[in-house]
Amino acid sequence: MTWRTRSNVAWLRELPGVKEGEPLASRTSFGIGGPAEFFFELGRAEAIEKAIDGCSSREIPYLLLGAGTNLLVADRGVDGLVVRIVNRDHEIEGTRVRAGAGLKMMRLARIVADANLRGFEFAIGVPGTVGGAVYQDAGCWDREIREVLVEVEGYVPGAGKQTWKPDALELGYRTSALRDGALRGALVVSATVQLARGDGEEARQLMARLTRERNETQPIKTKNCGSVFKNPPGDSAGRLVQAAGLKGAREGAAVVSSLHGNFIINEGGATAADVRRLIERVMAEVKRRFGIQLEPEVEMVGRWK
Ligand SMILES: Cc1cc2nc3c(=O)[nH]c(=O)nc-3n(C[C@H](O)[C@H](O)[C@H](O)COP(=O)(O)OP(=O)(O)OC[C@H]3O[C@@H](n4cnc5c(N)ncnc54)[C@H](O)[C@@H]3O)c2cc1C
Per-residue confidence at 45, pLDDT binned at 50, 70, 90? confident
What lies within 8 Å, CB to CB, of 35 at 6+ separation is 21, 22, 23, 24, 77, 78
Atom of ligand 1 lying closest to residue 144 CA: 11
- The closest residue, in CA terms, to atom 45 on ligand 1 is 132
> Among 189, 193, 179, which residue's Cα sits nearest to residue 154?
189
Q: Residue 1 pLDDT > 70, yes or no? A: no
pLDDT tops 90 at residue 218: yes
Helix (H, G, I), strand (E, B) or coil at 71: strand
At 86, the amino acid letter reads V
Q: Which of 73, 112, 114, 72 is nearest to 95 (CA)?
A: 112
pLDDT tens column, 185-200: 999 999 999 999 999 9
Closest CA relative to residue 16, chosen from 43, 37, 56: 43
Report DSSP state, residue 53. H
The conformation of residue 59, written as its DSSP 8-state character, comes to T
Question: Catalytic residues, which ones?
Answer: 174, 227, 297
| SS3 assignment, position 120 | coil
Q: Which domains, ranges and CATH numbers included, belong to the chain?
A: 6-85 (3.30.43.10), 90-217 (3.30.465.10), 237-301 (3.90.78.10)
The dihedrals phi and psi of 127, each to the nearest 5 degrees, come to -80, -5
Q: Which residue's alpha carbon is at the smallest distance from atom 3 of ligand 1?
A: 226
What does the DSSP assignment read for 142-175?
A: TEEGGGTEEEEEEEETTTEEEEE-GGGGT-BTTB
CA of 131 to the centre of ligand 1 (A): 8
Given this model, what pLDDT does residue 268 score? 97
Q: pLDDT > 90: what percent of the chain?
A: 98
Edge-first strand listing for the sheet containing 78-85: 19-23, 35-42, 78-85, 62-65
CA of 265 to the centre of ligand 1 (A): 17
For residue 292, what is the enclosing H or E element?
Answer: none
| Ligand 1 centroid – CA 125 distance (Å) | 11
Closest ligand 1 atom to 65 CA: 30
Of all residues in the chain, the percent with pLDDT exceeding 70 is 100
pLDDT at 50 over 90: yes
Mutate to test the pocket of ligand 1, among 48, 126, 301 (most ligand atoms within 8 A of CB): 126
- What pLDDT, in 10s, does the model give residues 52-92? 999 999 999 999 999 999 999 999 999 999 999 999 999 99
Residue of 70, 71, 144, 263 to test ligand 1 pocket, by largest number of atoms within 8 Å of CB: 70
CA–centroid distance, residue 229 to ligand 1 (Å):
13
pLDDT digits (tens, 9 = 90+) for 278-300: 999 999 999 999 999 999 999 99
Given pLDDT bands bounded at 50, 70 and 90, which one contains residue 16?
very high
Separation of 209 CA from ligand 1 center, angstroms? 23
Element (H, E) at 123: none
Pick the atom of ligand 1 nearest to 71's CA: 29
pLDDT surpasses 70 at 157: yes
Nearest to 83 by CA among 59, 48, 58: 48
Phi and psi (nearest 5°) for 202? Answer: -65, -40
- Are the CB atoms for 298 and 70 separated by under 8 Å? yes
3-class secondary-structure state, position 52: helix
Length of the chain: 305
Residue 163 pLDDT grade (very low, low, confident, very high; cuts 50, 70, 90): very high
> Tens of pLDDT along 86-132?
999 999 999 999 999 999 999 999 999 999 999 999 999 999 999 99
The per-residue pLDDT for range 223-267, each reduced to its tens digit, is 999 999 999 999 999 999 999 999 999 999 999 999 999 999 999
Residues lining ligand 1, Cβ inside 6 A: 29, 63-71, 85, 101, 125-129, 131-133, 135-136, 138-140, 178, 187-188, 220, 224-226, 299
Q: Are strands 139-140 and 143-144 parallel, antiparallel or unpaired?
A: antiparallel
